[in-house]
Structure 1
Amino acid sequence: MAATPLTPGTAATARPRVLRRVLWAFQVLFGLFLIVASALPKFAGQKDAVETFAQIGWGQWFRYVTGAVELAGGVGLLVPRLAGAAATGLVGLMIGAALTQILVIDPVWALMPIGMGVVFALIAWDRREQTRELVRSLTR
């Protein structure tokens, strides 16, 4: 079999497709994680979640608000048209989570929201044109 020669444009167009697929995989994984492993325990009143929000000191209402934001963000990541906007909002949530870990709970655990925030920022950047279109459609 003869190999198909790659033109310079072929490699350049393949790279964004690979990046988009990798980011899509992260969107699905993090979306499901936010819904199942993070938001639902907050709504269900899991002991660890209740204790963590008691330690934060803002009251249990904040647990529900955080769970609602995580649920909305997780669902948004799974809907392609909403993924960029959801990722942008989740960057803010992860900044708050990292600061809370550093200032109130345990600084070592701040690495998780920081890492997730970086991935959300990459998703938001990759989906920025879809986010612009979404905003335009809402302002018409």
Structure 2
Amino acid sequence: MNARASADKRPPGTTVRPQRTTALVSRLMGMETEYATLAVDPQNLSSEDLPASLFVYEQICEAIRRDQPTAKGLFDSEQMFLASGGAVTFESNPAMHDLPGGLIEIATPEVRSPEELLTCQRSIDQLVADATAESETSYDLRVLKNKL
């Protein structure tokens, strides 16, 4: 019997498994966040005079397009994909496109770690805030983070 076998306290026939140095399964993760849109109304306009939700969405998307490369969705022409792999979608029923307000949903790209996901989430928060501030309209547009 060699020295290694005598020091080993495992029962005979037991195999030694190497310690795992990588994750068992690599998973992709991403998040979708809704942002409510609104126009600040310092002139006390009637609801008919406020910008339609589709107009607000288009203005925000146009500001994003001026900042980075994008591509339209194949099956939804209102959807926009970002160079990062994220996506911007207008969340509305077509019957509500002409009404004020609305929701924009922005998805992060798919990533492999919580740290990357948090970085991407903070990036899209800043992206939508900047795009709203830089939209070329006479309205004072705002977005509110509707969900995490």
> Is the shorter-chain TM-score for this pair beyond 0.5, marking a shared fold?
no
- Please tell me whether Structure 1 or Structure 2 has the larger radius of gyration of its CA atoms: 2
Give the TM-score, by structure 1 length.
Answer: 0.32
TM-score (normalised: structure 2): 0.30
- Relative contact order, CA 8 A, sep 6+: which one is greater? 2
